[in-house]
Amino acid sequence: MGEHADRPLRIDLTASGRRATVTALPATTRTDDGFDAFYRSALPEMVRVATLVVGSRATAEDLVQDAFVRVHGRWSSIDEPAAYTHRAVVNACRSHLRRRVLERRHNATLSVDVAELEARELLDALAALPVRQRAAVVLRFYAGLSERDTASALGCAPGTVGSLVHRALATLRQAIER
């Protein structure tokens, strides 16, 4: 096979007059320094968080995958991978939900479609919360993040997290009591 058979190669085509030459060069590889292990360990939790925020496991899996692609691109400059990934996932969910609301407005349909979840009353009430409140509740109580970590993931102050959670719980209590 040649002298480079045991390592990946990058092919460089250089046009020289009318002739093209192929030069085998060592492939440039980026060291991931633990990204694969982080991905494998964090993926299930990120999918659960996204599922609770967007209300669809299939959509959540797509959003989380996209978030991990963005995290991988910045992996060498990330100090706190878990917090950064939580924030990337929540931001992807928020963007998705914003687009979904705009699509519904465009289609003149503002009803919330929760039949896909086959959810019970609590999941229906959770789905009816505003995105930031829903994300705060999911990150605080389901993902078990501290108020500070939740604030970091949402991009707000810790006091705002407390307020969002308080309002969300009040809304959930009212919905469940009905």
Return the CATH number at 72.
Answer: 1.20.140.160
Answer whether 0.85 is exceeded by the pTM. Answer: no
Q: What whole-number distance in Å separates Cα of residue 48 and Cα of residue 64?
A: 10
Confirm whether 7 is domain-assigned: no
Q: Where is 121: in which H helix or E strand? A: helix 121-128
- Contact call for residues 135 and 154 (beta carbons, < 8 A): yes
pLDDT at 60 over 90: yes
Give residue 82's domain range. Answer: 35-177
Confirm whether 50 is domain-assigned: yes
For residue 69, what pLDDT band results from cuts at 50, 70 and 90?
Answer: very high
Mean pLDDT of 69-95: 94
For residue 59, what pLDDT band results from cuts at 50, 70 and 90?
Answer: very high
Q: How many domains does the chain have?
A: 1
Please work out, in degrees rounded to the nearest 5, the angle formed at the alpha carbon of residue 167 by the alpha carbons of 146 and 92. 60
Sequence-distant contacts of 78-85: CB under 8 A, at least 24 apart: 81/38, 81/42, 82/42, 83/149, 83/152, 83/153, 85/38, 85/42, 85/46
Average pLDDT, the chain: 79
Rounded to 5 degrees, φ, ψ at 105 are -65, -40
pLDDT tens track for 7-55: 444 444 444 445 554 555 444 344 467 999 999 999 999 999 999 999 9
